[in-house]
């Protein structure tokens, strides 16, 4: 399996010379261009934290970068990256380390869902896309960022799960399977970390997003908006500590 081309010692040494990110925390959010990822980024930026975001949608990254330009002199970082690609995340880790240092918090938010369908009618490419994004994407980020955190024994990683990662639902079996995998992956990796670090599986609850609309149709509008959710989620995430390692939590 491919590993980073420069060693952990060099990465950690680079952090010492990383540009200052201001008084707040450095928070990396994957899938930052839309939905709850975007809302969370805006809420955390408004609270004075430095946002490091990635997405495959460069136009949306540009838009978010412009929106978060503020008077507090915090320089946010947005990178075009595909979490389902190990090499793309490897490069992301290099860029983040060189420009911002090791993130204090990582939110593995990037995700996708299959169109409502019985499992045997889900196209194989669609099934693979769900697994590649929701499971391999999380694993790729863990693979390249945990080695940056271990030497300093500091870092909180939040893996976005789902209520459907703790139960089953018809017509979204690939998505359910992926989120059950996130739960198991999080609990297992938590046992491998040093004291001071934490990996948490977080069920965001039911939020009105494009993904929810794909499942619920027009009734998705009955649920809370991402910006309202982000207020609660931001507070919860900012208060996570090493004592929460291995927990499965819900906003």
Instruction: State yes or no: pLDDT of 17 exceeds 80.
Output: no
For 2, phi and psi rounded to 5 degrees?
A: -70, 140
Give the global pTM. 0.89
Three-state SS sequence of 140-152: HHHHHHHHHHHHH
| Catalytic residue set | 175
| Structure confidence by residue, pLDDT tens digits, 173-231 | 999 999 999 999 999 999 999 999 999 999 999 887 888 788 888 888 887 899 999 99
> For the chain, what is the mean pLDDT?
90
Least confident of 37-41, 45-49, 85-89, 221-225: 221-225
- Separation between Cα atoms, residue 37 and residue 145, nearest integer Å: 19
Among residues 120, 77, 118, the alpha carbon closest in space to that of 100 is found at 77
């Amino acid at each position: 399996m491919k590993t980073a081309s420069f060693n952990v010692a060099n990465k950690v040494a680079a952090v010492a010379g990383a540009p200052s990110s201001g008084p707040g925390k450095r928070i990396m959010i994957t899938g930052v261009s839309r939905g709850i990822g975007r809302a969370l980024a805006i809420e955390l930026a408004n609270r004075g934290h430095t946002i490091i975001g990635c997405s495959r949608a460069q136009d949306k990254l540009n838009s978010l970068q412009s929106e978060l330009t503020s008077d507090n002199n915090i320089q946010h970082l947005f990178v075009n990256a595909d979490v389902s690609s190990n090499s793309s995340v490897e490069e992301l880790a290099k860029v983040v380390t060189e420009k911002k240092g090791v993130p204090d918090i990582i939110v593995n938010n990037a995700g996708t869902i299959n169109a409502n369908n019985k499992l045997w009618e889900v196209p194989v490419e669609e099934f693979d896309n769900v697994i590649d994004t929701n499971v391999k994407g999380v694993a790729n980020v863990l693979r390249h960022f945990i080695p940056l955190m271990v030497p300093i024994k500091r870092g909180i990683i939040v893996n976005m799960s789902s209520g459907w990662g703790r139960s089953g639902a018809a017509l979204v079996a690939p998505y359910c399977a992926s989120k059950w995998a996130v739960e198991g992956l999080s609990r297992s990796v938590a046992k491998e970390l040093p004291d001071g670090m934490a990996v948490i599986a977080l069920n965001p609850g039911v939020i009105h997003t494009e993904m929810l609309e794909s499942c619920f149709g027009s009734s998705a509008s009955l649920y809370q908006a991402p910006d309202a959710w982000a207020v609660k989620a931001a507070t919860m995430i900012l208060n996570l500590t090493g004592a929460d390692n291995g927990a499965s939590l819900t906003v």
